[in-house]
Amino acid sequence: MEHVNLPLILTVGVLVTGVIWLLDIFVLSRPRKRALKAIEATFEGRDVTREPEQSRYQEAIAQAQREPLLVEYSKSFFPVLLVVYILRSFVYEPFQIPSGSMEPTLQVGDFILVNKYTYGLRLPVWNKKMVAINEPQRGDVMVFFPPHLPDTYYIKRVIGLPGDEIRYTDHQLIINGEPVAEEIQALLPADAPRVKLVREQLGEHEFTALKHLQPGMYSRRGYWQVPEGHYFMMGDNRDNSLDSRGWDVAFVPDEKIVGKAVAVWMHWESLFSLPSFGRAGAIK
């Protein structure tokens, strides 16, 4: 998934507008307060409930209270930016799926929600874990920064946990010596099949994977020992996914985790198509 550094943009926006607001409270507003006192002194003893004194008084007060444009904008934007910042940084963050590496689970154009607190609260921008909550579980669909592209979001399924021994030979996944059973759901296309849809289960997650009848380059043979604090990732589209099987550094460290993908909320493939909510639901 393409990465625009929104956490950094939001952090800067919140800091700048917040500082300007505070600066106005303690420094910039002083001339306005003095002007208001001067107006009160000027109109002292006058009947400001009657015209034309009322109009003159109200106009003078409005002029004295007028804030600089930068202060006005900062006060308007700061609460909105702060709410968005908190939600995106610590609760849920939306993403759009740009490739088919997770088909059939996730399709190009799916808009998903990623839970940012499932695996612990992390400091925005630096992604430093502040509060440990849960650890990734086998079968979770996870968003992360891959080891070879530290500024690009990836989404794959957690296959190997720290300490696991992973083997993948001709589409047969073996974890710690135990083969993962697969159940063929369909052959596509029906008249001259080239791929198969298979049902697999990892931990509590039962999902459908897509495999070519002829195993691709990354599906023929591989062996990996997952180090502590790292995870082995694979796409559900097993022969069209560049993942831990093909990276020079195969494993995703804990500090590169972004969050757990939990739901599809909309599908919108392009600007020239209509958005659809038919695929909305939890991610298995």
Residue tagged active-site, from 74, 89, 101, 241: 101
* DSSP summary character for residue 237: B
| Cα 72 to Cα 159: distance, rounded to the nearest angstrom | 51
> Is 156 annotated as catalytic?
yes
- Exposed, middle or buried by CB within 10 Å (0-12, 13-18, 19+), for 36? middle
Residue matched to tokens 């808009």: 111
Q: Which of 156, 211, 219, 244 is catalytic?
A: 156
* Cβ–Cβ under 8 Å, residues 77 and 85: no
* 3-class DSSP assignment, residue 150: coil
Question: Rounded to an integer, what distance in angstroms lies between the CA atom of residue 180 and that of residue 173?
Answer: 6
Tell me how far apart the alpha carbons of residues 153 and 258 are, in angstroms, rounded to a whole number.
Answer: 8
The strand pairing partners of 112, in sequence order, are 95, 264
What is the Cα 117 distance to its own chain's centre? 11
128 is catalytic: no
At residue 80, φ and ψ (nearest 5 deg) are -65, -50
- Judged by DSSP in three states, 68 sits in coil
Calculate the alpha carbon distances from 95 to 9, 68, 108, 149 in Å. 16, 37, 11, 17
Any idea which residues carry the catalytic annotation? 101, 156
